[in-house]
Chain A
Amino acid sequence: MNLSNMKQKNDQISNLFSRLDHAEMPLKKDLWSEIEKDLPATHHYHVAYYKWISVAAASIIIIGVSALLYLNKPSNIVSVNRVAQNVSAPSKACTHLSYTSPSLNATSSPKHHDLMACESANNKSFKHINKVIKSTEDKDSIVHVTITFNQYEYGHIISRRGNDHNIMNQNASYGNNDSAAQNSAQNDKEETALNNNSSSDDNWALTASAGTNRDENIIYGVGIEKKIANKLSLVSGATYATSKNGDRQLIGIPLKLKYDLCNINKIQLYAEGGARVEQCVHNGDNTNVSLLASLGAQYNFNRDLALYVEPELKYNIDNRSTTDKLHSFSGGLSCGVRFIY
């Protein structure tokens, strides 16, 4: 047999077996779950890029909405109205009046009747806070402008802003130049002390945050904080997160303790520690329990509003995931806004 015939016959085999190029064989059922368990963590550099953008965008939205809500909250509107009402009321002793927003720079004679009028306009949902904003000394008399702020009453929240006792003390000083000056200075001191000690009197805070970590694409959270000791707060709330792969959605409940470390001007540093239980609500039914530890830095715009960032370390102690293999440790970052009451 010559070489070409032999080659042709050998090709019979190659041709016959080329059918196997698309051959299929039945699989055992649990092979995918075994593969899934052993899949290594994927590095998502380009995903991470978009993830950080989405976190930044979410943060901007949260801050923007918060600022809008804060600037338009009813107490401020009422306050301005009251100021306008007080300063425009007719008075025999009125010598000079000017108003520059947002601070008030005015001189006026005491107008006890205005204050009383304000009080009579109140109903149960409002409470008075009396503040001496500015006092200036004229040649003949010391005059005060008394501004009544109305604030919605939330339990004890109002107490740090002043009370009826303060109002009466201040009202009692009107008409007496010397005592009025002393009282004004005392009020200034009290006001300063009030500002300095505001954090110790703030019992409640609400938070809204957006963040990310190694296992989760983005985490949105709302929280509530209750001060339980001088520097210690209890923190809880709810979180919504999407998994790294984007196919799972998780609802979580954190429970943490927050400890205030220090205050430097408007910046406050604190540490948090606790745990979070997460339940998969889409594409799975696994529950994950994790321990959390974080350090936070907070910038206080004023006594009511602060922005914060929290680098966080998460340890998954009970990972029953069937669709994702979570890391034991994962780092993350969240930022948000804190409303203090």
Chain B
Amino acid sequence: MGKIYTKNNNKVNLVQAKPETIEFLLNYSKSLNVATIKGVQYESNMN
């Protein structure tokens, strides 16, 4: 009996964020600092 070869054509399920994007997010997270001074929150980014 012949084999049935199927190909996953559903591109939607194959999409995922690139490693560079993940890397950027992780670096952004590490550099982001939120400080609360007198009840007011300040964000600073330390690159």
**Do the two chains bind?**
no
A residues lining the B interface (CB < 8 Å): none
Interface residues of chain B, those whose CB is within 8 Å of chain A, are: none
